[in-house]
A and B are shown apart, each in its own frame.
Chain A
Amino acid sequence: MTVASEEKAVLEFKGRMLMMTVLHLKDLDPNTLHREVGRRLDEAAQWLRDAPVVIDLADPENSSQIELLAAVDTLRGLGVNLVALARNAHLDADTAAMLGLGSISLAGGRDVPRPEPAPASQTPAADTLVVEQPVRSGQQIYSHGDLIVLAPVSTGAELLAEGHIHVYNTLRGRALAGVRGNTAARIFCQDLDAELVSIAGHYRVAEDLPDNQRRKAVQITLDGDAMRFVELSGK
């Protein structure tokens, strides 16, 4: 058992989708805001009045922080449940923090610079693991690169590779290629009789394997969300 399960769980991270209301502000004048927002809230259902609200400024470049502060005060005074400020080039997390708000990107993360994908390894052969002994039930083999097995893989055995998996024998166990998310990873096997095959998290269990490919030499690839099974010609 893992250490984590032995300790008492104090907290848990969970990803959840939440409904939030985005308030587009085109005018920051407190009097206008007070009138318009108050009217809308009177019309709105209770759930909308309690809904968490994210402020999105229509014209952030021409809005001063003083104006923004006044607008936030007015909205709070009306009982609007403000939680965050939409982030953009002119409104960063510091501005939001100053207003006592969180900073949220409404662009689905597109405006956040993404880490560059790691360059493909120049020496894949060094990461390749070659197994010549049968992989028995209960055994698990992990390769940081490709995994090549020359012996049978039994039911109850598990092959995991960040790259491709090749089985030059009967595959009766599980084969999971591209376990770190490499959708270009493939599984090749000489005799497909697997319990489960998976590429980058997409999987098929034995029951769902195409019958006409069973006990055949097969290559398995991922095409979008679909797993493709292609018989190897053997020529």
Chain B
Amino acid sequence: MTKIVVVTSGKGGVGKTTTSAALATGLAQRGHKTTVIDFDVGLRNLDLIMGCERRVVYDLVNVINGDANLKQGLIKDKRVEDLYILPASQTRDKDALTLEGVEKVLDGLKEMGMEYIICDSPAGIEKGALTAAYFADEAVVVTNPEVSSVRDSDRILGILSSKTRKAEQGEGDIPARLLLTRYSPERVESGQMLSVEDVKEILAIDLLGVIPESQAVLNASNSGSPVILDRDSDAGQAYEDAVARFLGETREHRFLTSTKKSLFGRLFGG
């Protein structure tokens, strides 16, 4: 049984691609055969984050158009077994994505025995984002703790509840979970950022995880290695927790309080 997961947000730059890469890598590390697809046709990024940009021959649009078969389009990850990447086309635009074409690709991946297909959605609420979400069984909504990102996520949640295939077939909303990224407890405490509780209250969905604002994410992007592979980093561990929760494990949320404060607490005997 293949599960199709869309990673989406509405707003750009909140960490969809970082999350897609980490989630796919984490699932594959746990032995689940996983493909991550870049739906951001025209603004290809996932290959950079996954560090396979020098091995891209064919892309999603080539496979949809039949210029290449699925096996030719898939890039096998060199670090993690059972992990495949299907990059976006940089030269085409999102009109090249057709629902029939995407369905054919997803069906092909199912036949290959994929357990998880992670769809990295482009920003916005236009065709690209709708196509990425259409076939999803489940959604991960990536949100930053600030009002515009929260509002856009809310908009996306509304769209998910009506514009997916399951919704159109009357099977109701697909399950959607919140991943709060770039979280800075210090800035929450100083009132510059919304807290986890604020965001949860506004969006009214389950919390999959909180990823702290971390230099490790930038380092990982620059080096083309998903941050979840950086096991010593806070962000890497937070993604590791999120993957465990995604698979049904119960794990305490970490990195929610400022480390500075606890250091002070220790100094002053608190």
Contact = CB atoms under 8 A, between A and B. Distances in A.
Given A137-B151, A154-B151, A155-B151, A170 B201 contact: yes
Interface residues of A, number: 15
Contacts of B173: 133
A137 B203 CA distance: 10
Interface in A151-184: 151-152, 154-157, 170, 172
Contacts of B154: 136-137, 154-156
Contacts of A138: 155, 158-159
B220 interface: no
Contacts of A136: 154-155, 157-159, 161
B204 interface: yes
A151 B173 CA distance: 15
B161 A133 contact: yes
B202 interface: yes
Interface residues on B, range: 10 to 19
A172 B158 contact: no
Nearest to A138: B155
Summarize B's interface: helix, strand, loop or mixed.
Answer: helix
B202 A152 contact: yes
A229 B247 CA distance: 47
Contacts of A172: 202
A79 interface: no
A124 interface: no
Interface in B138-164: 151-152, 154-155, 157-159, 161
B145 to A, nearest CB: 16
> Most chain-B Cβ atoms within 10 A of its Cβ — which of A137, A139, A170, A172?
A137
Summarize A's interface: helix, strand, loop or mixed.
Answer: loop
A134 interface: yes
Contact of B155 (A133, A137, A152, A170): A137
A154 B161 contact: no
Contacts of A135: 158
B9 to A, nearest CB: 13
Nearest to B160: A136
> Most chain-B Cβ atoms within 10 A of its Cβ — which of A134, A136, A157?
A136
Contacts of A133: 161, 173
A152 B204 contact: yes
Contacts of B159: 136, 138
Interface string B173-188: 1000000000000000
A129 B151 CA distance: 25
Contacts of A137: 151-152, 154-155, 158
Interface string B80-118: 000000000000000000000000000000000000000
Given A136-B158, A154-B151, 5 more contacts: A136-B155, A137-B152, A151-B204, A152-B201, A172-B202
Interface of A: 133-139, 151-152, 154-157, 170, 172
8 contacts: A134-B204, A135-B158, A136-B159, A139-B158, A151-B204, A152-B201, A156-B151, A170-B201
